[in-house]
Amino acid sequence: MNIGEAAERSGLPAKTIRYYEDIALVVPARRMNGYRDYSDADVHRLAFIHRARDLGFGIESCRKLLDLYTDRARASADVKRVARQHLEDIELKMRTLEGMATTLRHLVDNCRGDNRPDCPIIDDLANAAAGDDRTTKRP
Amino acid sequence: MNIGEAAERSGLPAKTIRYYEDIALVVPARRMNGYRDYSDADVHRLAFIHRARDLGFGIESCRKLLDLYTDRARASADVKRVARQHLEDIELKMRTLEGMATTLRHLVDNCRGDNRPDCPIIDDLANAAAGDDRTTKRP
DNA sequence: CCTTGACCTTCCAGCAACTGGAAGAGCGAT
DNA sequence: ATCGCTCTTCCAGTTGCTGGAAGGTCAAGG
């Protein structure tokens, strides 16, 4: 099938599917006229990647998972390792964001938000120059 | 002062400080020899940005905040709007990550992680092709 | 006076994962 | 033959830096 139908069936934009070919994730056959020709198996792989991306896996993890998916002799331990590592990454990101959100909520709650200039948010940012030690760290 | 000292005092890498000049965030004076010459005020602005970045503000928000910081006639409402919008963005990201984490935790907990091939994680990804409706959405 | 080494300069490339757009074929229907 | 849609390739841009190459500057030591 053409890329348009593969896009519809996998739920991915055609642009993205072409990109996945560029990086050798899913490489379809070609017709005589140069058009890409996707098999059902290709679409399956695309949908697999789509789901993995929705779960936040990076492209290289998707590649790894796709390899494991294809490998009938895989060990589930290998899959689990990839997933657990990713879960840890996500949890770290969440903690980072949580720290930012806590600080921001505090600052926003204490800002009057009227037409006067004094503002605890600006003060916080400005006083960082003084070498204050605050909470949030970047990812 | 030279960029090295500005880097030390602001806590930002020299590379980053040069980049901030490229995008016209903090533009220092120049000496006769072509070296950048940072004033205390420049360093203050750099530290301000450093803190804002740590709180997750994007570069354009930093620019806006810096403008407001400089503007003695600012309305704290303007600052608050920027901060609240950013807070909402962060909260949205957190909800997205939370959804991913919940699914992943469930899958990881149910995977034996031994040397056999059957694995609920792979199954989940593979069955996405069947048009299952699952929870997590991408950011 | 010359060299060494630490600094400074510019520019170019690359990361992740696409996304948009331009220019040009192919294809089915009218 | 022409319309309109899909397909092709390639190039550029997004975000916020980071690394590296090639070369200039400067203070100190021999």
Q: How far is the CA of A14 from the C1' of C21 (A)?
A: 15
Structure tokens at B75: 């309305």
pLDDT in tens, B14-57: 999 999 999 999 999 999 999 999 999 999 999 999 999 999 99
Q: Which residue in B54, B52, B48 sits closest to A97, CA to CA?
A: B54
Indicate yes or no: strand C within 7 A of the C-beta of A13.
yes
Residues with CB under 7 A from strand D: A 2-5, 7, 14, 18, 34-36; B 13, 15-16, 19, 32-34, 53, 58-60
| B108 contacts B121 by C-beta, under 8 angstroms | yes
Q: What is the pTM of this model?
A: 0.87
A77, A80, A85, A91 alpha-carbon torsion, rounded to 10°: -150
- Per-residue pLDDT band for B76 (boundaries 50, 70, 90) equals very high
CB nearest to A79's CB, from B98, B103, B119: B119
Selecting from B69, B118, B122 the residue whose C-beta is nearest the C-beta of A69 gives B122
How confident is chain A (139 residues) per 10-residue block, as mean pLDDT?
96 96 96 96 96 96 95 95 95 95 96 93 84 46
pLDDT at position B130 is 56
